[in-house]
Structure 1
Amino acid sequence: MAGTNRHIGIAAVLALVVAPGAPARADFRLCNNSSARVSVALAYTNGTGWVSEGWWNIKISHCETLLRGPLAAQYYYVYAMDERGGEWKGKAFMCTRDREFRIEGRDNCFVRGYDRSGFFEVDTGKDARNWTVQLTDPGPPH
């Protein structure tokens, strides 16, 4: 949006979601609790190297499973943007592209023909089997 300084910082509430009495699930999920549809990219280490992939388009008040199965790492990285130009980003740079992607490695993004985006870190803890990230709109500026 020209002329506006609309920047959404990391206004994400991170929560471990376990429903009592529900069957055990083991997934990495993201819920869009913001006021606009979001496009989401995820990055993680697969044991041999870095992988970044996207885009999941998540409607307002909906959740999407980004990875299925027990979590294999403690740290995951998320980048999201909404249709109004807002972003949820951080300082962990990974390779991305404009259309659907799955990219091995995080180095030399531009040289390899990719974009470079700053992802925010999600620490799921050492023993978490599943995790849900809640994206929310930021509060009023202070």
Structure 2
Amino acid sequence: MARLSNALSFSALAVALLGAGPALADLRMCNNTGSRVSVALAYTDGQGWVSEGWWNLKSLDCVTLLRGALAAQYYYVYAMDERGGEWKGKAFMCTSDREFKILGRQDCFVRGFDRTGFFEVDTGKDAKNWTVQLTDQATPSTP
């Protein structure tokens, strides 16, 4: 009986190991705020700039923005919450009010898009995956 039990345990372990695939390498976004946020992402695809959005994240939720090993060191993100808060920067990309995937970052207005400032995410030279953490913006303390 012990022999059968050991054989079953070994079989279960072998199935578990065979089913385990390689670790995923992705660009992820986590919303660690108390509000729902909408997120847009911009990156270079090797031929030019691409901006796309919107991912909607509930409070304390995470989502994969790009699947697979990171192909670049720098990515750009813009996010806004339902209370009017923004996470923005000085890298301007094209966006739209509705779901979008836009090639290029020039002449946004002429092409019928909005022009939005994204913040830079430096993933490092050799990173294969990265998670961006959005947090509530600090409120200055009053003396």
Equivalent position amino acid for 2:85 in 1: G
In the alignment, does 2:57 pair up with 1:54?
no
Report percent identity of matched pairs: 78
Match of 2:70 in 1: 71
Q: How many residues align?
A: 121
Separation (CA, whole Å) in 2 of partners of 1:55 and 1:140: 27
Q: Tell me how far 1:23 sits from its aligned partner.
A: 5.0
Superposition TM-score, scaled by structure 2 size: 0.82
In the alignment, does 2:122 pair up with 1:87?
no
Separation (CA, whole Å) in 1 of partners of 2:78 and 2:137: 15
Match of 1:26 in 2: 25
Match of 1:125 in 2: 124
Match of 1:101 in 2: 100
Which 4+ stretches in 1 moved above 3 angstroms?
none
Match of 2:10 in 1: none
Task: Flag the structure with more relative contact order, 1 or 2, with Cα contacts below 8 A and sequence separation at least 6.
Answer: 1
Match of 2:11 in 1: none
Separation (CA, whole Å) in 2 of partners of 1:70 and 1:51: 17
Q: Tell me how far 1:138 sits from its aligned partner.
A: 1.5
Q: Tell me how far 1:25 sits from its aligned partner.
A: 1.6
- Flag the structure with higher helix content: 2
Q: Which runs of 5+ in 1 are unaligned?
A: 1-21
